[in-house]
Amino acid sequence: MKPSFPYFLKNKFVKSATALTVIAAVSAPYAAVACTSFLLPTTDGSGIYARTMEFGIELQSNALVIPRAYTLHTTGADGKAGMSWKGKYAAIGMNALGETTLVDGMNEKGLAGGVLYFPEFAGYADGSKTDKEKSLAPWDVLSWVLTNFATVEEVKTAIQDMSVINVVQPQMGFAPPLHYTIHDASGASIVIEPVDGKLKIYDNPVGVMTNSPSFDWHMTNLRNFLKMSPLNAPDLKIAGTTFSPLGQGSGLLGIPGDSTPPSRFVRAAAYVQTVEKQPSGDDAVRLTEHILNNFDIPKGWIQTAKELKIPLEYTQWSTIADLKNQKYYVKMYDDQVLRGIDIKSFDLDAKELKKAPLSPKITPPSVEFAK
């Protein structure tokens, strides 16, 4: 797989006042509740991180490359200027709504992570009561993590001194309820969740995260699926009659197939634990893509009451990150070809960040037959 970064594509980012009005009108719990993320362990002790990004309105995401020592700023309490810092590490990933913040990405050390929706359970600190220099807006957390730290352990230590504050995102009109999944090149994983004004940090042995409820609830819920296995169920004999499984996959019979966060969490955990692992590199990326495809949500699969006229939530894009080789991949709803960004191919000491719109190439290429 040869990574490519499509700078030549025409930027079609258009700020739509109508779209922003829709965002503000849609209540937070219904804006994006179907994101799925996981870390697939590799045979060389690292991992491949992947996630889907679902949303009802168009996020108009771009791919970003943030160089080392680039100055980033947070939004403070009441929308005023917050803390600022110069990044220690370069990072690549995806933004949303034209902001210079990452909602998903990876840095030059192989630390990766994503922002996922956490409706009804996210509870932020009061920004008027926190230290400005230790306060982050909900959408600034991931950029702060990826530009400052190399490992999960470093993040666990530093995040304990920080607060994620209740501040309105200007374009959305409310404070988006978020939680965060973080992984590093050693295969370590954590989940960070703001609850009741404090940050709860969980080690994540299964590497999976979806949406609400809280991560500890999802881990307890896995105890309802202790019999999931890639091995087919044995024959059953009743009163001298033998009953055999109908086809393949009977060891996973009963694994939930709906798109609720608890069901997606269980299903992702099942895939991660059962597939045949590969070493880091192209084969592992392709394996990860096959798993990720199972969580793709087409337009219309999830609907609310029709009279509310809420935009259909769907998988706008999906990403994969090879943490050992520092290669990041993305594919869009209208372009399912996986495109790559190799962070090592950039001048990481550049003065300006780089941005690339991910315009779709809708027409599939023709199959070329030998003459």
DSSP sequence for 290-333: HHHHTT---TTSS---GGG-PPPPEEEEEEEEETTTTEEEEEET
CA nearest neighbour of 127 among 143, 142, 140, 108? 140
The confidence score (pLDDT) of residue 303 equals: 83
pTM exceeds cut of 0.75 = yes
Give residue 301's pLDDT. 87
Quick one: pLDDT at residue 304? 78
Q: What is the pLDDT along the chain (371 residues), one digit of tens a residue?
A: 434 333 323 333 333 333 433 443 444 444 556 899 999 999 999 999 999 999 988 899 999 999 999 999 999 998 888 999 999 999 999 999 989 999 999 999 999 999 999 999 999 999 999 999 999 999 999 999 999 999 999 999 999 999 999 999 988 889 999 999 999 999 999 999 999 999 999 999 999 999 999 999 999 999 999 988 999 999 999 999 999 999 999 999 999 999 999 999 999 999 999 999 999 999 999 999 999 999 999 998 888 777 667 778 899 999 999 999 999 999 999 999 999 999 999 999 999 999 999 987 778 888 999 88
Contacts of 44 (CB under 8 A, 6+ apart): 279, 280, 324
Helix axes 141-148, 152-159, angle to 10 degrees: 130
Alpha-carbon torsion angle 132, 134, 140, 145, nearest 10: 160
Active site residues: 35
Amino acid in the structure at residue 73: H
pLDDT at residue 283, as a whole number: 98
The pLDDT of residue 26: 44
Who's near 173: CB < 8 A, 6+ residues apart? 20, 23, 24
Quote the pLDDT of residue 325. 98
Tokens of 180: 């965060």
Cβ partners under 8 Å of residue 189, min gap 6: 39, 152, 181, 182, 183, 203, 204, 205, 207
Give residue 33's pLDDT: 67
pLDDT for position 228: 86
